[in-house]
Amino acid sequence: MEIKGQEDATFLAQQVASGAVSADELLDAALERVAALNPQLNAVVLIQEQAARKTIKAGLPDGPFKGVPFLIKDLSAEAIDFPTHSGSNLMRDTKYSYDSEIFRRMRATGVVTFGRTTSPEGGIGPVTEAAVYGGPTRNPWDVTRTSGGSSGGSGAAVAAGIVPMAHGSDGGGSVRIPASSCGLFGFKATRARFPDGPASGEGWGGMAIDGFLSRSVRDNAAMMDACTGPEQGAPYAAPAMEMTYAQAIKRPPRRLRIAVCDTTFTGAAIDPACKTAVDKTAKILEDLGHHVTPDCPKADHEGMMHAWTKIVVCGTALWIQNVATARGEVAKQGDLQGVARGAAKFAQTISGADYLKAVNTVHAYGRQMAAAFDDYDIILSATLAEPPAKVGRFHHDREDFENYRVGPGGVFEYSPFCATFNASGQPAATVPMHWTEGGLPVGVHVAAPFGQDATLIALCAELEQAAPWAHRKPSMVT
């Protein structure tokens, strides 16, 4: 069987099951693509081929992706066989003595994990340009552009056809930003849908969650079903779903009330290509019989982002402190890049009361966003306010972290939509619905009320059927 790099994981697993191809042959093909494409992309790191071969030889679990090559993000997803840099020289070649629960569940699907994908230091930022990897991670659609962040390596690897699906995580858009930038499907589930343990009970005050970047909706659905549910001792859990993700995508959703926002949520203009993507998608949804109304959610979006920023810098400072404690020494010159150093410095100005105030602001924002769905089932917007940024625009060598995030020309202006739903905990997804004249992918963003993951993914599947994207590929994917 010839592997072209456009197949989704479900199809490849079917081919393994039929005997048309073996897990070792799929791994061979993935490694060949790494050798051919990774020098241009800098997306796949810390390859552990022997661990992957050993897993195959030992016998793979009979899961939905048995034999399919897979990559995990180089951030969290702790695994004994997969050392990590976590995007930072501070943690270069760190080894774990345990497997995280999310990794255990991914492994049980039968995937063959063979390495990690690049991430920015500490998961900060909408780009992946970590010094520990020797350079930026680039977009397969245009190598002068970013693949996004913080799951930027996963986005580039899937878009380039190295693997059909990869692990990511999302604390402010870190699955959806690279999925949009790379022409992929990315889904952020309702808060606490997946386990965080045993290393922690929650990430960034409950705003971060694991997720997946995929070529197809069905792959994402099956992987999320395999990972759903809290682990023993979790501090809280997401509400039970009315049906599984895989069941939801097999039936069209009811006709939905959809609010369409073709500006930022604060009313600022977005790039014409992003507006075109929103307008085009709104028309498709209207033609499908959904009830489409121009509107934007009313909430304290700017206040939320300032609070989000304080929570994230405190989380970053804690991460640096924990690593230093484990090493028995403080971070030294060269261990950290500017953005992480700036976050740690900013955290020193935030008191315990300031932190709790930020948490309360985010919780209040969650109530505001819950009310925004009183009259709607779905909120539709662009995923980013612009097409993928040029490499270097959001580099990590600056220390003015607050300005980097919320200042003029900062991250919030570039990505004003995604963090909304990390703060609210509501499910949200990016769907690749448009490409610019220059061939850059532009995602549209859809979000649903808390716990309504099934409704949201059913709508995504309906969009996939109405406007398929699987035939699209970067020119480097032959």
Phi-psi category of 76—alpha, beta or left, where left has phi over 0 and alpha has psi -120 to 50? left
| Three-state SS at 204 | helix
73 is catalytic: yes
Q: Among residues 150, 154, 214, 216, which one is catalytic?
A: 150
Judge whether 420 and 348 are in contact, CB under 8 Å: no
Candidate list 73, 188, 310, 473, residue with the active-site label: 73
Within 13 Å, how many C-alpha atoms sit on residue 22's CB side?
7
Q: Is 150 a catalytic residue?
A: yes
Compute the C-alpha angle 227/233/238, nearest 5°: 50
Distance (Å, whole) CA 69 – CA 55: 11
Selected catalytic residue, list 174, 180, 381, 415: 174
Answer whether 164's CB lies under 8 Å from 112's CB: no
CA separation for the pair 230, 192 (Å, rounded): 7
Give the 3-state secondary structure of residue 280: helix
Instruction: Evaluate the omega torsion of the peptide bond into residue 198 and state whether it is cis, within 30 degrees of 0.
Output: yes
Name the nearest CA neighbour of 238 among 229, 246, 247: 229
Residue 200: count of CB within 10 angstroms of its CB: 13
Strand spans (E) along 118-201: 138-139, 142-146, 165-170, 185-188
**Residue 174 annotated to the active site:** yes
Using alpha carbons only, what angle is made at residue 230 by residues 225 and 232, rounded to the nearest 5 degrees?
135
Phi-psi region of 206 (alpha: psi -120 to 50; beta: other; left: phi over 0): left
Judged by DSSP in three states, 203 sits in strand
244: helix, coil or strand? coil
Could you give the residue numbers annotated as active site?
Answer: 73, 150, 174
